[in-house]
Structure formats: C-alpha cells, structure tokens
Amino acid sequence: MTVTATSVDQSDRLQPPPAKGARARLTRLVPALVSALSGVLLYVSFPPRTLWWLALPAFAGFAWALRGRTWKTALGLGYLFGLGFLLPLLVWTGVEVGPGPWIALVVIEAVYVALVGAGIAAVSRLPGWPLWAAALWTAGEAVRARMPFGGFPWGKVAFGQADGVFLPLAALGGTPVLGFGVVLCGFGLYEIVRLALRRRDGDVRRSAAAVALLSVAVPVVGAVGARALVSDQAEAGTATVAVIQGNVPRAGLEFNAQRRAVLDYHARETRRLAAEVAAGKAPRPDFVLWPENSSDIDPFAAPDAAAVIQGAAEAIGAPISVGSVVERDGRLLNEQILWDPVKGPLQTYDKRQVQPFGEYLPMRSLIGAINGEWTSMVRQDFSRGDKPGVFDFGRVKVGLATCYEAAFDWAVRDTVTHGAQMISVPSNNATFDRSEMTYQQLAMSRVRAVEHSRTVTVPVTSGVSAVIMPDGRVARHTGMFVPAHIDMKVPLRTSETPATRLGILPELALLLVAAGGLGWAGAAAVRGRRVSGA
C-alpha cells in the first residue's frame, strides 16, 4: 500500500485523463505558447511604452504555465519566457554590430530565467508559493546582475516601472524590493483567479485565499505607504544646472573617427547657452554637465582639445564636467573631468563598471578566432576606476554614474553615501541610433531618482538628455540627434532613503527567502518519495 504524506498542496493532482492524438500535442504546446507570449507581454510593459501594468498579467501567465510542472519542463518554459522578453528588449545591442552578438547575449541571459522557472515550479506546491516564487525571481536578477563578466542587470523588472504605482517601493528597498513587489503581485493575481475557479468545484482553504489576497494587497499597500518617502522638496537649497547635448556628426560607431567634431559640437552648444545668459534669456548655471565621450580627444595630451574646453568654460563662466577618453600610465580610461574656467582640470572620475564587449573584450583570443572583426572593434581594453565619483562644484556635490553604471545598484548608491546631493548619468547612446535603448536607460535614471531621493541629470551626446526630479518625474528633456541644452534650477537633497541606508540588505533577505523556499520544496519532495516507497 502506498501512502503519501507531505506538507505541500496536493489538491491539483487530480487531472483529467490525457488527451490523445493531435489534441494532446496541441495541449502540450499551450504552456509553451503562454510562456513565450507572457515574456513578450513583459517586454511591452517596458519603456518607451507606459504600459507598466502589463507586467502583472505577464507574471500571472508565467505562473499558470509553470505551476505543478516538473523541473525539466519548467526549465524549457522558463527559457521560452526569457526569450520572449529579452529578444525584443535587447535588440538594440545589434544595431551596429549585427544580430550575432545580440542573439548570443539573449541566449545566455535567458538561461538565468530558465533556472528561475525551474525553481518556481519546485516551490509552486508550497503554501504561500507566490512569496517563494517572487523571491526566486529576485534571486535570479541578483545573480544575472553579477555574472558573468561583472553582470548584466538590463531588464530588471524594476526598470520597467518608472511610470507605475509601485515606483515608491524603490525608496523603501531599492530595485530588488520594487521588482519583488511587482512579481509578487502578478503571481498573487494568478493565485486569486486559480482559487476562484477551484471554489466552483469544492472548498478552498481560508489560509490559501488569505495568502493570495495578501500577495496582491501587500505590494500595493506598501507602495502607497512608501509615497511618504518620495519628495522633490529642496533640503540644501537649489542649484542651477546646465545639461549640454552637442549631438554627433552622424549616428553609428564611426562617429568615434570624428572626435574633434563631437568636441566642437559640445563647445558650440555651451557657447550658445552662454550667449543666452549674456542676453538675459537664461540664468547663469552654477555648473555645466557634458555627456560621456563629449571629448574623445585626451585634453591632457592634446593642447588643442584643452583649449576648446577651456574656451567653453570661460564663455559660460562656470565649471564643466567633461566626458573624455584618457590614457594615463599605460591605462585607457573612460573619464569625467571637472574643468574650472580659472584653474583648469581639478578632479577626475574613472568609470568603474566598464562594459564587456563594448569597452573591454573578455576572452579576446577565443572571440578573435570566431570573428576577427569583433576584436578590431575593441582594439584596447578600458581599465576600471576604483573610487566613487563625487565632484565638488563649490557648495554642490554631484555624484557620477557613467552610462552603463546606472544599471548597477552599487555604482549609484555609493555616490550618495559619499555625500552626493544630486546625481548625474553622463551617457553616449549615439551607437544605438534611435532604438529603445535610450528610453530604457532614461527609465533606469528615473528609478534611481526615487530610490535615493535625488535629482538626476542625464546628459547624452545625441539624446534623450533630461533632468529628473527626486520624485522620478522628467522635468525637461531634449529630442534625439539634435543639438540642445537644458538650463534649470533643481533641488538639492541630503537625507537618505531606507533604500540608500539599507544597501544590499533587502536583496540578501530576499535571497534567503528564495533559498528557504527551495529548501522546503526539496525536503517535501524527499519525504514524499520516502513515504511513497514504504
């Protein structure tokens, strides 16, 4: 006699007899189709669209496809969800280099989603499974943000929520808590529907119904409560900041061959602002922010480039943060330079999270053997900086997170913990033409503004440049591939949000929850096998 004893939910084991023939094959295809389409739905929830709420049905559909599956089946379903999400989301990575790197990146990144899918299926029979499942998703994002090659956090669920009601959760616990809340709510919605359908055929345990309702209610209530942490009020006065978008001669990688033109464009736009200030049409800025790669000519080695920057600083009568490429002590650096109109260069910040396959080439010999053209695109690897970037513009401290760094929690957080009263994300998106990349990155900066309650400026070579208030609102922005500038007064803030103070702790807590869920599911499976075989 076989006896089954386990603490997990057994009520869904009663399944109708398997269908036969073509109907059976079609039935088996439905979960795969739902997984892939749910991934596409999650992509559609991301900017530039403002359909953030589509993330909820996306995860509800994903939960339906995974619940009760074997780990092998769930692995495949998770992979399909990852492909449906990441293939369209990351298409911009192949704008100039072709589809090969784009497909390779997605194929690798989707593996993480597949593993998460297997884990979600394993915990899907546990009491309170939406909690364990949402924590597992967050754990998958945490791993993906760290490996390989320093990680690739692009596509975190939190980065699709800049326009959503859940955004204040970022101030509570950063991107891990914001993403966790959204995923938990999506899984909770599926559980509510599942239990409602089951109730027609029999009783539903009150505890299961309570967990389903709480899975939806807690993130919503938490987001509403966290709104008290979101403010755009000045705490340390205000500063008038100018963001310069000089534009590039033309889109594409070849713009790097026209480095002097890019520098001249940014100097010209700065002088245009200076003329408006002299005419009384614009306020004089306290400081000016140029984008990443605004001077790919090293001004420490090229006197003519230094003269152009010096002339622009003198014209505007304010210090400028210049994005440059500098070679120092045999190291190639993506560097921001604080250039004073009287004293010249005063401070530098070297980008710490350099982009693999863009700014340095891992496994160079192997990749060269596959395609020699790829190695020629990254002839020399950039070195990493080792200190947080906080520039002192007189009384104002500005934290710097250069372009790709905005995707990494630590790279933005430690500028604030080192005293930044506002944040700047100098970027260069010209390589990616008019793709969605620039809007995805802008959304990241909006999340960072709320996460740390700081004004965030985004100076970009070719757009979209913007000034973002500490409440995540885009106060002003430019178009794409046009010379433009933004000159406005912004609030300075000094208080730290819980997310800033807690740092990595919320993410670690969710990792422990995920591990606990997997441990419980594993123990239950072992007990079930032992009793069944008695």
291 close to 461: Cβ distance less than 8 angstroms: yes
From 109, 191, 292, 335, active-site residue:
292
Report long-range pairs for 48-56 (Cβ below 8 Å, ≥24 apart): 48/436, 48/439, 50/163, 52/160, 52/161, 52/162, 52/163, 52/164, 52/166, 53/164, 55/157, 55/160, 55/161, 55/164, 55/182, 55/183, 55/186, 56/182, 56/185, 56/186, 56/189
Sheet arrangement for strand 466-468:
389-393, 396-400, 422-424, 455-458, 466-468, 474-477
Distance CA 273, CA 83 (A): 46
Give how far the C-alpha of residue 178 lies from the chain's centroid of Cα atoms, to the nearest Å: 12
At residue 399, the 3 state secondary structure works out as strand
Give the active site residue among 335, 351, 405, 507: 351
Q: Is 141 a catalytic site residue?
A: no
Secondary structure (DSSP) of 143-186: HHTTTTTT---TT-GGGG-TTSTTTTHHHHHHHHHHHHHHHHHH
Tell me which DSSP letter residue 325 carries.
E
* Extended beta strands in 360-479, E state: 389-393, 396-400, 422-424, 455-458, 466-468, 474-477
403, 405, 436, 507: the active-site residue: 403
Helices 169-199/409-417 angle, 10° precision:
140
Long-range contacts of 464-469 (CB under 8 A, 24+ apart): 464/438, 464/439, 465/243, 465/244, 465/245, 465/291, 466/243, 466/442, 467/241, 467/243, 469/232
Which residues are catalytically annotated? 292, 351, 403
